[in-house]
Chain A
């Protein structure tokens, strides 16, 4: 091979890598549905698939996000968890590129299992947004410059929960959508991604709520909507204005969040309820009382709705009808929402054991397991052929060697 050919080959590889490069920009991925579209992740997990393991400066249940060649994750530390950390690591090597710290402005107390760094960060591709249980919402450039800081915990001092807050923000267009809901005070707001100013703010049911907003993608001339879940149900709002488009009022869980799949919304409500929105309205498609999720949110793979119950059992039903297909006993408990990639499901239990499950209509089969040996409560991220997951102590990258 001539030098010219080698050079062309390398350029082609570089372009190819650019083309396949993908991001995981928020809780449960870019479309907030836990699907790593186009990703082919390692299915045979073992010690050799741990590409790197990088120490973290604090605790957290927040999952990592990936933007380009950088991984971002939040942590909290200190006796009162009032130290807020945002870390940026090199996705290829796991080396720390930068770290920024801030002091919490809001209440930092949480249940001992939770941490101030429970909500997962989000990104619009140009900047990252970190949110904490203390309701501190801050925006940094990809190289760590503070662009704005909102102390929603000090602006609204009663909007807190002594057990901790966990709702992860999502970005839709130029709006960061945030839910701040508790027994004492509740609201949701849309914050301008660039300026940090509030575009809109709406009152929400005054009740503890740990769910995260999800996104109903734009279809045709119907714009993308933010779906806000609470014990009352689901409220669909325009992310730009906060205008309420429709309400699903049959109640919903306050822990696992709704998932959108091909224009339908799988709501943890009376088990699992699926609706199909259409403009200002929606129709109920099916309900399955035996498909109720525990803490992890539902996912959809190959026409199957999958939920993890309180006993650590993975339950599968038909996504089109809710008809129960099979059950697979895993070793729970699980706090982490699974990821779906290339027809496989990746689950991490609280003890730090990763399971790769191959689901078919007939059964679910454990393809491989890997014990990472550290408590894992976060939902992982996936990008560029790798899984990223954090414990209280480390951030791991799992990839084929």
Chain B
């Protein structure tokens, strides 16, 4: 249906042509053309014409364009951004004022798309540096991670100048909005130095407890594609944690494993063993208080697959090209109640020192990167 709507919009654009979209009345139609842009570089001509018509409309089109970001695909958002930037450039070159009051109101409207709000903010900031002090402190818990980052940075700077309980309070406040690893690390370091307890893992929503079984054969990296018994159970959505399997080195069972690492790293090599040429399976449950779309963010130097409630949501066969927090982002839909999150982690047989890590970290967060905890 989405494709049919898109085609209809494009047909409309083709039928009306450029000239008929050159007045303000056609701004919504032009925006809809941009919102309907499809991947693959197909039929981009109507999009180009739509941008031109929006530029012709001048600053009147700015707020409608920004509102058009809501619900738009990231690809469409880039087309909208280009139209916005072109209008701003043209207005600036002509010495014409931008609708600053409306733009600032848009920045503060947290129901609008964070990317669009940020675009409006940066446009205003280029002409009015004072906007930062005016609005950023109020955006600590903003739906946009860039706004949060700025607000956290201001609080950290303030905390660094303060002492004792005042500093601790400022760092605690900063932590409440922090979603980026470097800022959380800095805040945690300061708080711990002050004798405070900080649970970084919980802050980020890392999953510390898993059930694991293995090893299974992954010699010559052939095991990645093999669906061993636990994998077949994952696909049924109901792993049997009482089962015993024929593993690579004999019979294997499910065993609990827990990590106390700040960043939720389950270190198979250290906590179990660095079985070369092997595959391990892990599973856990995550209780959601409602149906919701969240993100699973992973970090691992090993090849991996991940299932949610029996559905394979992503797989990647790459070994030892670094491991970082939030290395991969997988959007998932979780249902109210218990959700089964299962993983396959594969180690290869590389002998280099830098190729010995066998580990993974998984967290649940929202789109800002703010950790989401399971229902207790």
Output the least CB separation between B29 and chain A (Å).
19
Give Cα A151–Cα B42 distance, bound, in whole angstroms.
12
Pairwise interchain contact B74-A98, C-beta atoms closer than 8 A? no
Output the least CB separation between B300 and chain A (Å).
9
Output the least CB separation between B303 and chain A (Å).
8
Cβ 8 A contact of B40, one of A150, A157, A163 = A150
Pairwise interchain contact B146-A78, C-beta atoms closer than 8 A? yes
- Which residue from chain B places its CB closest to the CB of A162 in the assembled complex? B321
Give Cα A192–Cα B319 distance, bound, in whole angstroms.
34
- Known A102-B78, A103-B81, A149-B78; contact A183-B40, beta-carbon cutoff 8 A: no
Output the least CB separation between A336 and chain B (Å).
23
Give Cα A109–Cα B316 distance, bound, in whole angstroms.
15
Give Cα A157–Cα B321 distance, bound, in whole angstroms.
16
Q: Within residues 98 to 114 of chain A, which ones have a CB less than 8 A from any CB in chain B?
A: 98, 100-103, 105, 107, 109, 111
Q: Which of B82-90, B134-142, B163-171, B277-285 contacts A (4 or more CB under 8 A)?
A: B82-90
Give Cα A210–Cα B293 distance, bound, in whole angstroms.
35
- Known A195-B41, A198-B41; contact A145-B322, beta-carbon cutoff 8 A: no
On chain A, the residues within 8 Å of B328 by CB distance are 107
Pairwise interchain contact B318-A162, C-beta atoms closer than 8 A? yes
Output the least CB separation between B145 and chain A (Å).
8
**In the complex, B327 has a CB within 8 A of chain A:** yes
Give Cα A105–Cα B78 distance, bound, in whole angstroms.
9
**In the complex, B77 has a CB within 8 A of chain A:** yes
Give Cα A183–Cα B85 distance, bound, in whole angstroms.
37
On chain A, the residues within 8 Å of B357 by CB distance are none
- Known A146-B51, A184-B316; contact A155-B321, beta-carbon cutoff 8 A: no
Cβ 8 A contact of B44, one of A109, A162, A196 = A196
Give Cα A293–Cα B327 distance, bound, in whole angstroms.
31
Output the least CB separation between A97 and chain B (Å).
10
Pairwise interchain contact A149-B75, C-beta atoms closer than 8 A? yes
**In the complex, A327 has a CB within 8 A of chain B:** no
Best-surrounded residue of B180, B321, B324 (most CB of chain A within 10 A)? B321
On chain A, the residues within 8 Å of B319 by CB distance are 183
**In the complex, B216 has a CB within 8 A of chain A:** no
**Which secondary structure dominates where chain A touches chain B?**
loop
- Known A149-B75, A155-B40; contact A109-B89, beta-carbon cutoff 8 A: no
Output the least CB separation between A78 and chain B (Å).
7
Pairwise interchain contact B79-A98, C-beta atoms closer than 8 A? no
**In the complex, A310 has a CB within 8 A of chain B:** no
Number of B residues, CB within 8 Å of A: 37
Cβ 8 A contact of A105, one of B40, B44, B75, B322 = B75
Give Cα A105–Cα B324 distance, bound, in whole angstroms.
19
Would you give the 0/1 interface string for A157-175, flagging 1 where the beta carbon is closer than 8 Å to chain B? 1100111000000000000
On chain B, the residues within 8 Å of A154 by CB distance are 39, 74-75
Pairwise interchain contact A145-B82, C-beta atoms closer than 8 A? yes
On chain B, the residues within 8 Å of A79 by CB distance are 145-146, 149, 180, 182
**In the complex, A197 has a CB within 8 A of chain B:** yes
Give Cα A364–Cα B85 distance, bound, in whole angstroms.
49
**In the complex, A191 has a CB within 8 A of chain B:** yes
Would you give the 0/1 interface string for A79-120, flagging 1 where the beta carbon is closer than 8 Å to chain B? 100000000000000000010111101010101000000000
On chain A, the residues within 8 Å of B44 by CB distance are 147-149, 195-196
- Known A148-B41, A196-B44; contact A100-B146, beta-carbon cutoff 8 A: no
Q: Within residues 8 to 46 of chain B, which ones have a CB less than 8 A from any CB in chain A?
A: 37, 39-42, 44-45
Cβ 8 A contact of B78, one of A111, A146, A161, A182 = A146
Output the least CB separation between A94 and chain B (Å).
19
Give Cα A149–Cα B42 distance, bound, in whole angstroms.
10
Give Cα A182–Cα B320 distance, bound, in whole angstroms.
12
Cβ 8 A contact of B86, one of A103, A107, A145 = A145
**In the complex, A277 has a CB within 8 A of chain B:** no
- Which residue from chain B places its CB closest to the CB of A100 in the assembled complex? B85
- Known A149-B75, A184-B318, A196-B41; contact A144-B86, beta-carbon cutoff 8 A: yes
**In the complex, B115 has a CB within 8 A of chain A:** yes
- Known A100-B82, A198-B41; contact A184-B317, beta-carbon cutoff 8 A: yes
Would you give the 0/1 interface string for A180-213, flagging 1 where the beta carbon is closer than 8 Å to chain B? 0011100000011001111000000000100000
- Which residue from chain B places its CB closest to the CB of A155 in the assembled complex? B39
- Which residue from chain B places its CB closest to the CB of A107 in the assembled complex? B328
Pairwise interchain contact A162-B327, C-beta atoms closer than 8 A? yes
A138-B78, A144-B89 are known contacts; what are 10 more A-B pairs with Cβ within 8 Å? A105-B78, A145-B51, A146-B79, A150-B40, A151-B74, A157-B314, A162-B327, A184-B316, A195-B44, A197-B40
Q: List 22 A-B contacts (CB under 8 A).
A: A79-B145, A79-B182, A98-B89, A100-B85, A102-B81, A102-B82, A105-B74, A109-B322, A109-B327, A138-B78, A144-B85, A146-B48, A146-B51, A148-B41, A149-B79, A154-B75, A158-B316, A183-B319, A184-B316, A191-B41, A195-B45, A198-B41
> Which residues in A have some Cβ–Cβ distance to B below 8 Å?
78-79, 98, 100-103, 105, 107, 109, 111, 138, 144-151, 154-155, 157-158, 161-163, 182-184, 191-192, 195-198, 208
The 9 tightest CB contacts between A and B, nearest first, are A196-B41, A146-B82, A183-B318, A162-B321, A148-B44, A102-B78, A184-B318, A197-B41, A162-B322
